[in-house]
C-alpha cells in the first residue's frame, strides 16, 4: 500500500501542474499539446499504479480507488485532447476560408 500511495503522490502532483498549465494556456495548439501530455502521464500513472497494486499485500477499498484514479484522469485528458484538437482544426479551417 505504501508504494501505491507514493505512486499516487508523484503522479497526482504532475497532473495538478498540467491542469494548471491547461487553465492558463491561451492557444488551442498549446491546450491540445498539454492535454496530450496529460494523457501520457495518466497512462504512465495507471501502469505504475497497477504494478504497485499487484505487489501490495492487502486488498482494501482505498487501494482499489487509488489504483483506478488514473483511469478518471485518462478519460478527462482524452476528452480535453479531443475537444481542443477539434477547436484547433476548426480555427484552422476558418483561417483558410478567410472568416
**3-state SS string over 49-75?**
HHHHHHHCCCCCHHHHHHHHHHHHHHH
Q: What is the pLDDT of residues 9-68, one digit of tens each?
A: 999 999 999 999 999 999 999 999 999 999 999 999 999 999 988 888 778 888 889 999
Over 70: is that where the pLDDT of 94 sits?
A: no
HSE on the CB side for 99, CA within 13 Å?
A: 7
Amino acid at each position: 500500500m505504501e508504494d501505491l500511495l507514493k505512486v499516487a503522490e508523484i503522479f497526482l502532483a504532475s497532473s495538478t501542474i498540467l491542469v494548471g498549465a491547461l487553465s492558463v494556456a491561451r492557444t488551442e495548439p498549446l491546450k491540445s499539446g498539454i492535454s496530450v501530455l496529460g494523457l501520457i502521464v495518466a497512462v504512465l500513472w495507471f501502469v505504475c499504479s497497477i504494478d504497485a497494486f499487484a505487489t501490495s499485500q492487502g486488498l482494501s477499498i482505498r487501494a482499489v480507488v487509488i489504483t483506478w484514479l488514473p483511469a478518471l484522469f485518462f478519460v478527462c485528458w482524452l476528452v480535453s485532447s479531443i475537444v481542443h484538437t477539434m477547436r484547433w482544426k476548426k480555427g484552422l479551417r476558418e483561417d483558410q476560408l478567410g472568416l
